[in-house]
Amino acid sequence: MSARHFLSMMDYTPAELVGVIRRGVELKDLRNRGVLFEPLRGRILAMIFEKSSTRTRVSFETGMIQLGGQAIFLSPRDTQLGRGEPIADGARVMSRMVDAVMIRTFAHSNLIEFATHSRVPVINGLSDDLHPCQLLADMQTFLEHRGSIQGKTVAWIGDGNNMCNSYIEAAIQFDFQLRVACPEGYEPSAQFLALAGDRVTLTRDPYEAVEGAHLISTDVWTSMGQEEEAAKRLALFKPFQVNREMLDRAATDVLFMHCLPAHRGEEISVDLLDDPRSVAWDQAENRLHAQKALLEFLVAPAYTPA
Ligand code: CP
Ligand code: NVA
66 classed as catalytic: no
User: Is 2 part of any domain?
Assistant: no
**Torsion-angle region of 304 (φ positive above 0: left; ψ -120 to 50: alpha; else: beta):** beta
Ligand 1 centre from 225 Cα, in Å?
14
**Is 80 known as a binding-site position?**
yes
- Which of 51, 52, 56, when mutated, tests ligand 1's pocket best, judged by the most ligand atoms within 8 Å of its CB? 56
Query: 3-class DSSP state for residue 116?
Result: helix
For the beta sheet containing 153-157, the strands, ordered from the edge strand earlier in sequence to the opposite edge, are 200-203, 177-181, 153-157, 215-218, 255-258
What percent of the chain shows pLDDT beyond 70? 100
Ligand located closest to 259 CA: 1
**Is 247 known as a binding-site position?**
no
CATH of the domain at 187: 3.40.50.1370
Same domain, 116 and 232: no
Same domain, 121 and 160: no
Same domain, 98 and 137: no
- Position in ligand 2 atom list of the atom nearest CA 51: 8
In the DSSP assignment, the letter for residue 154 is: E
Say which residues have a Cβ less than 8 Å from residue 13's Cβ, sequence separation at least 6.
Answer: none
Residue-wise over 230-240: b if at least 16 C-beta within 10 A, else e?
Answer: eeebeebbeeb
Same domain, 153 and 276: yes
Ligand 2 centre from 88 Cα, in Å?
25
pLDDT tens figures, 197-241: 999 999 999 999 999 999 999 999 999 999 999 999 999 999 999
Same domain, 155 and 277: yes
- Give me the residues paired with residue 76 across strands: none
* Ligand 1 neighbourhood includes 278 CB (under 6 angstroms): no
User: Is 226 part of any domain?
Assistant: yes
User: Is 4 part of any domain?
Assistant: no
* Ligand 1 neighbourhood includes 56 CB (under 6 angstroms): yes
Ligand located closest to 135 CA: 1
State how far the Cα of 13 lies from the Cα of 74, in Å rounded to an integer: 31
Average pLDDT, the chain: 97
Nearest to 94 by CA among 121, 70, 68, 69: 121
**88: how many CB neighbours lie within 10 A of its CB?**
13
164 classed as catalytic: no
Ligand located closest to 49 CA: 1
Position 126 scores a pLDDT of 98
The count of residues in the chain is 306
Lowest average pLDDT, out of 79-88, 173-182, 266-275, goes to 79-88
43 classed as catalytic: no
Position 1 scores a pLDDT of 47
Range of 113's domain? 9-131+287-299
pLDDT tens figures, 112-138: 999 999 999 999 999 999 999 999 999
User: Is 80 part of any domain?
Assistant: yes
- Give me the residues paired with residue 71 across strands: 45
Instruction: Please tell me whether the overall predicted TM-score, pTM, comes out greater than 0.95 for this model.
Output: yes
Same domain, 216 and 96: no
- Give me the residues paired with residue 66 across strands: none
Ligand 1 centre from 218 Cα, in Å?
14
Ligand 1 centre from 238 Cα, in Å?
23
User: Is 71 part of any domain?
Assistant: yes
Same domain, 138 and 231: yes
pLDDT tens figures, 177-203: 999 999 999 999 999 999 999 999 999
Q: Atom 4, ligand 1: which residue's CA is nearest?
A: 55
Same domain, 120 and 140: no
Nearest to 224 by CA among 269, 162, 289: 162
What percent of the chain shows pLDDT beyond 90? 95
**Is 121 known as a binding-site position?**
no
CB 225 within 8 A of CB 106: yes
- Position in ligand 2 atom list of the atom nearest CA 260: 5
* Ligand 1 neighbourhood includes 259 CB (under 6 angstroms): yes
CB-side neighbour CA atoms (13 Å) of 126: 22
pLDDT for residue 21 is more than 60: yes
Same domain, 154 and 122: no
pLDDT higher at 124 or 78: 124
Same domain, 205 and 89: no
Domain count across the chain: 2
Task: Summarize the confidence of residues 240-269 as an average pLDDT.
Answer: 98
Same domain, 24 and 74: yes
* Ligand 1 neighbourhood includes 166 CB (under 6 angstroms): no
Same domain, 86 and 30: yes
104 classed as catalytic: yes
Ligand 1 centre from 53 Cα, in Å?
5
Position 305 scores a pLDDT of 75
State how far the Cα of 199 lies from the Cα of 175, in Å rounded to an integer: 8
pLDDT for residue 143 is more than 80: yes
Rounded-to-5 percentages of helix, strand, coil across the chain = 45, 15, 40
User: Is 79 part of any domain?
Assistant: yes
